[in-house]
Amino acid sequence: MEKITFLNIPNYYCSYFHLGLSQVAQLRFSPQPEFAHLNGKPYLVFEYKEKIIVIENDDPVGVDKKAYELCDLYFATNKLKEREDYNWKKVQGIFPHYSINNCWDYVQLFGWKGAHQLGLKEFARQFYILYRRPEFFNYPFEFKEGNYMFFSGSIWKKESWANQIRKSYIEACQNNPLIQFEGGMVRRQDGDPCGMPESVLTDKFPAVAFSEKSRKSIIGFNNPAVLDAVSWRLAEYLNYSCFVISFDFKIDVPIIPKHGEEMHFIQDASEFAPVIDFALKNPEYRKKVAQGGNSYFNRYCLPDRQAKRILQLSQEA
Protein backbone atom coordinates (compact mmCIF):
# COMPACT_ATOMS: atom_id res chain seq x y z
CA MET A 1 0.00 0.00 0.00
CA GLU A 2 1.28 3.47 -0.85
CA LYS A 3 2.47 5.73 1.96
CA ILE A 4 1.57 9.30 2.87
CA THR A 5 3.27 11.37 5.56
CA PHE A 6 1.31 14.10 7.32
CA LEU A 7 3.61 17.05 8.03
CA ASN A 8 1.31 19.02 10.34
CA ILE A 9 -1.69 18.48 12.62
CA PRO A 10 -4.84 19.78 10.90
CA ASN A 11 -7.97 20.75 12.78
CA TYR A 12 -11.38 19.12 12.46
CA TYR A 13 -12.16 20.97 9.21
CA CYS A 14 -9.82 18.51 7.45
CA SER A 15 -11.33 15.28 8.79
CA TYR A 16 -12.98 14.38 5.46
CA PHE A 17 -9.61 14.36 3.67
CA HIS A 18 -7.95 12.55 6.55
CA LEU A 19 -10.50 9.78 5.99
CA GLY A 20 -10.11 9.80 2.21
CA LEU A 21 -6.33 9.60 2.29
CA SER A 22 -6.48 6.78 4.85
CA GLN A 23 -8.66 4.81 2.43
CA VAL A 24 -6.09 4.90 -0.38
CA ALA A 25 -2.75 4.91 1.45
CA GLN A 26 -0.98 4.09 4.69
CA LEU A 27 -0.64 7.21 6.83
CA ARG A 28 2.19 8.25 9.12
CA PHE A 29 2.92 11.48 11.00
CA SER A 30 6.22 13.33 10.94
CA PRO A 31 5.76 16.97 12.02
CA GLN A 32 7.95 19.48 10.21
CA PRO A 33 8.86 22.86 11.73
CA GLU A 34 8.27 24.74 8.48
CA PHE A 35 4.57 23.83 8.69
CA ALA A 36 4.17 24.20 12.47
CA HIS A 37 2.34 27.52 11.97
CA LEU A 38 -0.53 25.49 10.45
CA ASN A 39 -0.92 23.12 13.40
CA GLY A 40 -4.46 23.13 14.77
CA LYS A 41 -5.68 25.11 11.78
CA PRO A 42 -7.82 24.14 8.75
CA TYR A 43 -4.79 23.06 6.70
CA LEU A 44 -3.56 19.57 5.92
CA VAL A 45 0.00 19.28 4.62
CA PHE A 46 1.38 15.93 3.51
CA GLU A 47 4.14 14.33 1.47
CA TYR A 48 3.42 11.78 -1.22
CA LYS A 49 6.10 10.38 -3.54
CA GLU A 50 8.44 13.29 -2.77
CA LYS A 51 5.74 15.87 -3.52
CA ILE A 52 4.42 18.29 -0.89
CA ILE A 53 0.66 18.89 -1.06
CA VAL A 54 -1.35 21.44 0.91
CA ILE A 55 -5.12 21.21 1.38
CA GLU A 56 -6.62 24.46 2.66
CA ASN A 57 -10.08 24.10 4.20
CA ASP A 58 -10.39 27.63 5.56
CA ASP A 59 -12.77 30.42 4.61
CA PRO A 60 -11.39 32.25 1.54
CA VAL A 61 -9.06 34.51 3.52
CA GLY A 62 -6.15 34.02 1.14
CA VAL A 63 -3.42 31.54 0.27
CA ASP A 64 -0.90 30.81 3.01
CA LYS A 65 2.18 32.16 1.26
CA LYS A 66 4.76 30.24 3.27
CA ALA A 67 3.04 26.91 2.62
CA TYR A 68 2.50 27.84 -1.04
CA GLU A 69 6.20 28.49 -1.58
CA LEU A 70 7.16 25.15 -0.04
CA CYS A 71 4.56 22.94 -1.73
CA ASP A 72 4.23 21.39 -5.17
CA LEU A 73 0.44 21.75 -5.29
CA TYR A 74 -2.01 23.77 -3.18
CA PHE A 75 -5.67 22.73 -3.01
CA ALA A 76 -8.27 25.18 -1.70
CA THR A 77 -11.82 24.33 -0.67
CA ASN A 78 -12.85 27.94 -1.22
CA LYS A 79 -10.88 28.95 -4.32
CA LEU A 80 -12.56 32.32 -4.69
CA LYS A 81 -12.74 33.21 -8.38
CA GLU A 82 -12.26 36.94 -7.88
CA ARG A 83 -9.31 36.75 -5.50
CA GLU A 84 -5.91 37.02 -7.21
CA ASP A 85 -3.91 34.64 -5.02
CA TYR A 86 -6.42 31.83 -5.51
CA ASN A 87 -5.61 32.04 -9.21
CA TRP A 88 -1.90 31.43 -8.72
CA LYS A 89 -0.41 28.61 -10.77
CA LYS A 90 -0.19 25.91 -8.08
CA VAL A 91 -3.68 26.49 -6.63
CA GLN A 92 -6.36 23.92 -7.47
CA GLY A 93 -10.03 23.71 -6.49
CA ILE A 94 -11.58 20.69 -4.80
CA PHE A 95 -15.06 19.24 -4.59
CA PRO A 96 -17.54 19.85 -1.74
CA HIS A 97 -17.00 18.00 1.53
CA TYR A 98 -17.83 18.34 5.22
CA SER A 99 -16.40 17.72 8.66
CA ILE A 100 -16.94 14.21 10.03
CA ASN A 101 -16.25 12.13 13.12
CA ASN A 102 -12.88 10.42 12.76
CA CYS A 103 -11.78 11.09 16.34
CA TRP A 104 -10.15 7.69 16.88
CA ASP A 105 -8.20 7.89 13.62
CA TYR A 106 -7.05 11.32 14.79
CA VAL A 107 -5.75 9.92 18.08
CA GLN A 108 -4.21 6.86 16.44
CA LEU A 109 -2.27 8.87 13.85
CA PHE A 110 -1.12 11.85 15.91
CA GLY A 111 -0.94 10.31 19.40
CA TRP A 112 1.28 11.79 22.11
CA LYS A 113 3.49 13.38 19.50
CA GLY A 114 0.51 15.37 18.25
CA ALA A 115 -0.61 16.23 21.78
CA HIS A 116 2.88 17.59 22.46
CA GLN A 117 2.85 19.65 19.27
CA LEU A 118 -0.62 21.14 19.87
CA GLY A 119 -0.72 21.11 23.63
CA LEU A 120 -2.83 18.59 25.50
CA LYS A 121 -5.77 20.97 26.02
CA GLU A 122 -6.09 21.87 22.33
CA PHE A 123 -5.53 18.26 21.26
CA ALA A 124 -8.36 17.16 23.57
CA ARG A 125 -10.58 19.96 22.26
CA GLN A 126 -10.08 18.82 18.66
CA PHE A 127 -10.85 15.23 19.68
CA TYR A 128 -14.08 16.34 21.38
CA ILE A 129 -15.21 18.36 18.36
CA LEU A 130 -14.55 15.40 16.07
CA TYR A 131 -16.36 13.07 18.47
CA ARG A 132 -19.48 15.24 18.22
CA ARG A 133 -19.47 15.35 14.42
CA PRO A 134 -21.53 12.77 12.46
CA GLU A 135 -19.75 9.68 11.22
CA PHE A 136 -19.40 9.43 7.46
CA PHE A 137 -21.67 7.06 5.61
CA ASN A 138 -22.25 6.96 1.86
CA TYR A 139 -26.04 6.91 1.69
CA PRO A 140 -27.71 5.22 -1.31
CA PHE A 141 -30.18 7.32 -3.26
CA GLU A 142 -33.56 7.53 -1.59
CA PHE A 143 -36.38 9.67 -2.95
CA LYS A 144 -37.87 11.62 -0.07
CA GLU A 145 -41.63 11.54 0.30
CA GLY A 146 -43.61 13.84 2.58
CA ASN A 147 -43.23 17.55 3.22
CA TYR A 148 -40.60 17.88 5.98
CA MET A 149 -38.02 20.62 5.49
CA PHE A 150 -35.21 21.61 7.84
CA PHE A 151 -32.84 24.55 7.71
CA SER A 152 -30.81 26.23 10.42
CA GLY A 153 -27.96 28.71 10.22
CA SER A 154 -25.81 31.02 12.30
CA ILE A 155 -26.23 34.79 12.49
CA TRP A 156 -23.06 36.57 11.39
CA LYS A 157 -22.43 40.18 12.41
CA LYS A 158 -20.30 40.98 9.38
CA GLU A 159 -22.34 39.06 6.78
CA SER A 160 -25.66 40.92 6.66
CA TRP A 161 -26.35 39.88 3.05
CA ALA A 162 -25.94 36.19 3.91
CA ASN A 163 -28.16 36.68 6.98
CA GLN A 164 -30.91 38.27 4.89
CA ILE A 165 -30.73 35.55 2.24
CA ARG A 166 -31.15 32.79 4.79
CA LYS A 167 -33.92 34.72 6.55
CA SER A 168 -35.75 34.96 3.21
CA TYR A 169 -35.40 31.21 2.67
CA ILE A 170 -36.70 30.42 6.16
CA GLU A 171 -39.68 32.73 5.70
CA ALA A 172 -40.46 31.17 2.31
CA CYS A 173 -40.60 27.78 4.05
CA GLN A 174 -42.62 29.07 7.00
CA ASN A 175 -45.17 30.74 4.73
CA ASN A 176 -45.78 27.70 2.54
CA PRO A 177 -48.79 25.74 3.87
CA LEU A 178 -47.56 22.58 2.14
CA ILE A 179 -44.40 22.44 4.27
CA GLN A 180 -43.73 21.04 7.72
CA PHE A 181 -40.78 23.28 8.58
CA GLU A 182 -38.28 23.02 11.41
CA GLY A 183 -35.30 25.25 12.12
CA GLY A 184 -34.40 28.92 11.89
CA MET A 185 -31.53 31.31 12.56
CA VAL A 186 -29.64 30.29 15.69
CA ARG A 187 -29.72 32.79 18.53
CA ARG A 188 -26.31 34.31 19.22
CA GLN A 189 -24.72 33.84 22.63
CA ASP A 190 -24.32 37.60 22.98
CA GLY A 191 -28.07 38.04 22.50
CA ASP A 192 -27.71 40.30 19.44
CA PRO A 193 -30.19 39.19 16.74
CA CYS A 194 -28.51 41.47 14.18
CA GLY A 195 -31.89 42.59 12.89
CA MET A 196 -33.39 39.11 12.63
CA PRO A 197 -37.04 38.95 13.83
CA GLU A 198 -37.98 36.58 16.63
CA SER A 199 -40.16 34.63 14.19
CA VAL A 200 -37.10 33.17 12.42
CA LEU A 201 -34.95 32.48 15.50
CA THR A 202 -34.26 29.08 17.03
CA ASP A 203 -31.93 27.41 19.51
CA LYS A 204 -28.79 25.65 18.30
CA PHE A 205 -29.03 22.04 17.14
CA PRO A 206 -26.25 19.59 18.13
CA ALA A 207 -24.10 18.54 15.15
CA VAL A 208 -25.45 14.98 14.91
CA ALA A 209 -29.08 16.10 15.28
CA PHE A 210 -28.45 18.80 12.68
CA SER A 211 -27.20 16.18 10.21
CA GLU A 212 -30.06 13.78 10.94
CA LYS A 213 -32.66 16.49 10.39
CA SER A 214 -30.90 17.65 7.21
CA ARG A 215 -30.98 14.06 5.92
CA LYS A 216 -34.77 13.95 6.35
CA SER A 217 -35.34 17.27 4.58
CA ILE A 218 -36.82 16.89 1.10
CA ILE A 219 -35.21 20.18 -0.02
CA GLY A 220 -31.87 21.67 0.96
CA PHE A 221 -30.57 25.20 0.50
CA ASN A 222 -26.87 25.69 -0.23
CA ASN A 223 -26.70 28.98 1.61
CA PRO A 224 -24.03 31.66 1.17
CA ALA A 225 -21.38 31.17 3.86
CA VAL A 226 -18.71 33.48 5.30
CA LEU A 227 -16.86 35.47 2.61
CA ASP A 228 -18.74 33.55 -0.13
CA ALA A 229 -17.34 30.20 1.01
CA VAL A 230 -19.19 27.01 0.16
CA SER A 231 -21.16 25.58 3.06
CA TRP A 232 -20.47 22.12 4.48
CA ARG A 233 -24.16 21.44 4.15
CA LEU A 234 -23.87 21.26 0.34
CA ALA A 235 -21.93 17.98 0.35
CA GLU A 236 -24.20 16.65 3.08
CA TYR A 237 -27.34 17.46 1.08
CA LEU A 238 -25.93 15.74 -2.01
CA ASN A 239 -25.00 12.67 0.02
CA TYR A 240 -28.48 12.67 1.59
CA SER A 241 -30.31 12.80 -1.78
CA CYS A 242 -31.89 16.20 -1.11
CA PHE A 243 -33.19 18.43 -3.89
CA VAL A 244 -30.68 21.30 -3.63
CA ILE A 245 -31.39 24.97 -4.31
CA SER A 246 -28.30 27.14 -4.71
CA PHE A 247 -27.05 30.49 -5.90
CA ASP A 248 -24.25 30.42 -8.47
CA PHE A 249 -20.90 29.47 -6.94
CA LYS A 250 -18.38 32.24 -6.34
CA ILE A 251 -15.68 29.66 -5.79
CA ASP A 252 -13.97 27.54 -8.42
CA VAL A 253 -15.31 23.98 -8.20
CA PRO A 254 -13.59 21.54 -10.62
CA ILE A 255 -16.93 20.51 -12.16
CA ILE A 256 -20.04 22.64 -11.59
CA PRO A 257 -23.28 20.68 -11.00
CA LYS A 258 -25.69 20.98 -13.92
CA HIS A 259 -28.73 23.18 -13.44
CA GLY A 260 -32.00 21.26 -13.62
CA GLU A 261 -30.18 17.93 -13.50
CA GLU A 262 -27.95 17.90 -10.41
CA MET A 263 -28.96 21.12 -8.66
CA HIS A 264 -31.43 23.97 -9.09
CA PHE A 265 -29.67 27.33 -9.37
CA ILE A 266 -31.37 30.65 -8.66
CA GLN A 267 -30.28 34.27 -9.06
CA ASP A 268 -32.38 36.08 -6.47
CA ALA A 269 -34.11 35.44 -3.14
CA SER A 270 -37.45 36.27 -4.76
CA GLU A 271 -37.21 32.86 -6.48
CA PHE A 272 -37.34 30.87 -3.22
CA ALA A 273 -41.12 30.68 -2.90
CA PRO A 274 -41.92 29.73 -6.53
CA VAL A 275 -39.05 27.22 -6.80
CA ILE A 276 -39.99 25.52 -3.53
CA ASP A 277 -43.63 25.42 -4.59
CA PHE A 278 -42.70 23.99 -8.00
CA ALA A 279 -40.48 21.30 -6.47
CA LEU A 280 -43.21 20.27 -4.04
CA LYS A 281 -45.86 20.03 -6.75
CA ASN A 282 -43.61 18.31 -9.30
CA PRO A 283 -42.11 15.26 -7.58
CA GLU A 284 -40.67 13.87 -10.83
CA TYR A 285 -38.54 16.99 -11.31
CA ARG A 286 -37.55 16.94 -7.66
CA LYS A 287 -36.56 13.29 -7.95
CA LYS A 288 -34.52 13.88 -11.12
CA VAL A 289 -32.50 16.69 -9.58
CA ALA A 290 -32.08 14.93 -6.23
CA GLN A 291 -30.90 11.73 -7.93
CA GLY A 292 -28.58 13.70 -10.20
CA GLY A 293 -27.08 15.50 -7.22
CA ASN A 294 -26.53 12.23 -5.39
CA SER A 295 -24.83 10.77 -8.48
CA TYR A 296 -22.61 13.88 -8.65
CA PHE A 297 -21.59 13.27 -5.05
CA ASN A 298 -20.77 9.62 -5.74
CA ARG A 299 -18.73 10.47 -8.85
CA TYR A 300 -16.67 13.33 -7.45
CA CYS A 301 -17.13 13.95 -3.73
CA LEU A 302 -16.61 10.64 -1.93
CA PRO A 303 -13.56 10.78 0.38
CA ASP A 304 -11.54 8.20 -1.56
CA ARG A 305 -12.46 9.74 -4.94
CA GLN A 306 -11.22 13.13 -3.78
CA ALA A 307 -8.06 11.63 -2.33
CA LYS A 308 -7.24 9.76 -5.56
CA ARG A 309 -7.77 12.92 -7.62
CA ILE A 310 -5.47 14.92 -5.35
CA LEU A 311 -2.74 12.27 -5.48
CA GLN A 312 -3.01 11.95 -9.26
CA LEU A 313 -2.77 15.70 -9.81
CA SER A 314 0.19 15.92 -7.45
CA GLN A 315 2.14 13.52 -9.67
CA GLU A 316 1.31 15.56 -12.75
CA ALA A 317 2.49 18.82 -11.18
What residue ranges do the domains of the chain occupy? 3-134+303-316, 148-301
Q: Write down the pLDDT at residue 151.
A: 97
Q: What is the pTM of this model?
A: 0.95
Amino acid identity for residue 263 in this structure: M
The class of domain 148-301 in CATH terms is alpha beta
Assess whether pLDDT exceeds 90 at residue 25.
yes
Tens of pLDDT, residues 32-80: 999 999 999 999 999 999 999 999 999 999 999 999 999 999 999 999 9
Mean pLDDT over all residues of the chain? Answer: 96
Mean pLDDT of 200-215: 94
Identify whether the C-beta of residue 316 lies closer than 8 Å to the C-beta of residue 92: no
Distance of CA 305 to the CA centre of its chain: 16
- Residue from 194, 308, 250, 310 nearest 82 by CA: 250
Tens of pLDDT, residues 246-275: 999 999 999 999 999 999 999 999 999 999
CA–CA gap between residue 76 and residue 57 (Å, rounded): 6
Tens of pLDDT, residues 165-181: 999 999 999 999 999 99
Q: Write down the pLDDT at residue 70.
A: 98
Assess whether pLDDT exceeds 90 at residue 225.
no
Q: What proportion of the chain, given as a percentage, has pLDDT over 70?
A: 100
Q: Write down the pLDDT at residue 228.
A: 85
Assess whether pLDDT exceeds 90 at residue 132.
yes
